[in-house]
Amino acid sequence: MSRVRLGVRLAGRDLRRRATETVLLFVALALAATTLTIGLVLHGQTAAPYAETRSRTRGPDVVAVLFPAPNQTVTAADRASLAAVAARPGVSDRSRAFPTTWTSITAGGITGVAELQGRDAGNSPVDRPQLVSGHWLTHGDGVVVERAFALAMDLSVGDRVELAGHAVPVVGIAVSAALPPYPQLCTIGCILDQPGWFSAEPGLVWASRQRVAGMATPQQPLVWFQYLRLRDAGSARAFAGRLTDSGPPAGRPELTAWQDVAARQAEQLASERTAVVFASTLLVVLALATLVVLVGGRMDDEVRRVGMLKAAGATPGFVTRLLLASYLAVGLVASLVGLVAGRLLAPRLISLSAGLLGRVGATSLSVGQAVTVVASVLVIVVMAAVVPAWRAARTSTVRALASSGRAPHRGGLLVAVSARLPAPALLGVRLAARRPRRATLTSLSVAVAVCGGIVVLYAQSSLHAERGDVGGPADPLVAQLHTVMTALTLLLALMAAVNLVFVTRASAVDARRSLAVARALGVSPAEAATALAIAQLLPAVVGLVVGGACGTVLYRALSSHSVSPSLTQLAGLAVATLVLSAALSAVPARIEARRPVADPLRQP
């Protein structure tokens, strides 16, 4: 017990002794834990929302749509075919047939196309849209708007919309699983026979049957929707397929199984999930890179302390456990802070597909997810620390006591090339060359952040190109993706910044004596600071190039429709990376260069 207490005391004092490194380690791990938490929360939500919405709205298993023949309307006789489908074996419940038409909708200066579905005031046996605000249709004149479309049109309950020139109040906002939410509604089928509507994406609006019937025109005749529930929901595709297989639907309804609607919605959410999973992976890589540098740097410093502990009787096992314990303690606290931060941030970043119910805001992190986050962070810590800790503990006591740190690497070619450069560049190149592993990790860290940035630029350009020429209301999912991707890019940049500051500081401490010698030989503090910054900028430039290539290749591999960002955007990212790298390196470099030159020269 006393050995445990001793270990805790020694680990605690070691962390306090090097408070700056401890804080940086903490920040890096907490950021990784935050992103992992956001990723897991989002994954949990995107996996279930359609199923949950379908269950809570008594969503249909099959959607039957009866279109009129060209230049004709659907007659009562035609509608008998809908009744025939509803009477087929396996159907357990059905809605009434709902008349549907398409009309222009305007509100607050935004104009779009509405798919207007005529509904009854009472509950339908199948498809009962769940209200998120307001109330359902009563005998009044109002309309209820599908939530994603309402978001795109910036509508809330009490607003008035113009439907083909008639002002109508919005009495409710609701979600439904019967049809894909805006802007995917037309994948089930639309008639958009109006000038300028060809590429429009309509949104669903529920109104009274009378209003819908009154809105129908020869160009926009009524189409009839009927929702069916089957005894075996899993057989929906087979049920729909049997009718479709018997030939084109001349006067027969088109059938769509709920699995196809679900697949369409999953497609919408997939890009959001991909963005988060991708960013989480990059952040974990960055966290690992930060830790490798951090632990490597600390272990160089630890070797002499290890020698002292072993000289005082500590076994290699005790020393290994002691070194690991201090990192694990920081990892544990950081992962808990990351969990809380991620839990608080997730609802702000993720609102799911606006047309689904989801559970955002109400969802709490499950115990399993929390354990996954903490375990992941601790595994990262152990992966980064166990080998150097084990190696340090097994260094002979005599060698450890005499240790003067890791010998620098000699980059012969860079030494020769740098001889022709001005003093700061000469020193900078040589400083970068003497620690190739650290330079590689700086490159990796910048590359990961740039890679993320490039993917975001590609994604935004592609989204803009997809929606840019359509006109009409904006896609709320696009705005949400922008928010998620921007937030994750900021997290990536923050982590890369922490990494860069730490690496510069580690390099400055490592090069303290070399720089003191250089200053004794006539290098000014400004030149020494510039040299340190250059030592970080060189690998950052390599990271920029590698990250740029990686981001381009990755996005093109992940996405089938990639539109290149403009040269200005790419140049902006490159310049911002270099300026930020230079600024972040300059701070610790200047602090180090301001130290009195005589001190490091006095130390043995």
Partner 1 sequence: MSAAVRVVGLAKHYGKGEALVRAVDDVDLEVASGEAVVVTGPSGCGKSTLLQLMGGLDLPTAGEVWLGGRRIDRDSERARARLRRDQVGFVFQDFHLLDELTAVENVELPALLAGTPSRQARRRALALLERVGLDDRVRHLPARLSGGQKQRVAVARALVNNPAVVLADEPTGNLDSAATTEVLRLFESLRADGQTLVVVSHDQRTAATADRMVSMRDGALIEDVVLGPSTAGTVDVLSASERA
Hey, which residues does 174 pair with through a beta bridge? 131, 146
Residue tagged 């020769």 (tokens): 416
Closest to partner 1 by CB, 517 vs 563, is: 517
Residue tagged 């620098």 (tokens): 408
Whole-angstrom Cα distance, residue 405 to residue 389? 15
CA distances from 531 to 176, 440, 536, 583, 592 (A): 62, 18, 9, 13, 11
Q: How far is the CB of 430 from partner 1 (least distance, A)?
A: 7
Q: How far is the CB of 539 from partner 1 (least distance, A)?
A: 17
Whole-angstrom Cα distance, residue 567 to residue 457? 11
Q: How far is the CB of 588 from partner 1 (least distance, A)?
A: 18
Q: How far is the CB of 497 from partner 1 (least distance, A)?
A: 29
Question: How would you class 359 by CB atoms within 10 Å of its CB: exposed for 0-12, middle for 13-18, buried for 19 or more?
Answer: middle
Closest to partner 1 by CB, 464 vs 513, is: 513
Q: How far is the CB of 436 from partner 1 (least distance, A)?
A: 11
Maximum separation of any 2 CA atoms in the chain, in Å: 103
Closest to partner 1 by CB, 43 vs 513, is: 513
Closest to partner 1 by CB, 428 vs 551, is: 428
What CA dihedral angle connects 153, 159, 165 and 166, to 10 degrees?
A: 140
Q: How far is the CB of 596 from partner 1 (least distance, A)?
A: 6
Q: How far is the CB of 276 from partner 1 (least distance, A)?
A: 44
Closest to partner 1 by CB, 121 vs 601, is: 601
Return all residues near 353 (Cβ < 8 A) that are at least 6 apart.
Answer: 49, 148, 181, 265, 268, 269, 477
Closest to partner 1 by CB, 211 vs 434, is: 434
Closest to partner 1 by CB, 295 vs 432, is: 432
Q: How far is the CB of 305 from partner 1 (least distance, A)?
A: 22
Whole-angstrom Cα distance, residue 86 to residue 82? 6
Q: How far is the CB of 407 from partner 1 (least distance, A)?
A: 6
Closest to partner 1 by CB, 261 vs 429, is: 429
Q: How far is the CB of 339 from partner 1 (least distance, A)?
A: 44
Q: How far is the CB of 592 from partner 1 (least distance, A)?
A: 14
Q: How far is the CB of 532 from partner 1 (least distance, A)?
A: 15
CA atoms within 13 A on the CB side of 70: 0
Closest to partner 1 by CB, 195 vs 412, is: 412
Contact 304, 2 (CB under 8 A): no
CA distances from 461 to 195, 386, 482, 574 (A): 28, 43, 11, 17
Closest to partner 1 by CB, 222 vs 523, is: 523
Closest to partner 1 by CB, 573 vs 593, is: 593
Closest to partner 1 by CB, 139 vs 420, is: 420
Alpha-helical (H) ranges within 154-219 are: 209-215
Whole-angstrom Cα distance, residue 183 to residue 340? 34
SS3 551: helix
Structure-token pair, residue 263? 């697949």
Q: How far is the CB of 4 from partner 1 (least distance, A)?
A: 38
Residues that bind partner 1 (CB under 8 A): 407-411, 415, 419-420, 422-423, 426-427, 430, 433-434, 513-514, 516-527, 596-598, 601-602, 604
Whole-angstrom Cα distance, residue 148 to residue 114? 12
| Phi and psi angles of residue 238, each rounded to the nearest 5 degrees, phi first | -65, -40
* Cα–Cα nearest to 432, from 351, 353, 504: 504
Amino acid at 238: A
Buried b (16+ CB within 10 A) or exposed e, 92-129: ebbbbbbbbbbbbbbbeeebbbbbbbbbeeeebebbbb
Buried b (16+ CB within 10 A) or exposed e, 367-398: eebbeebbebbbebbeebbeebbeebbebebe
Closest to partner 1 by CB, 431 vs 451, is: 431
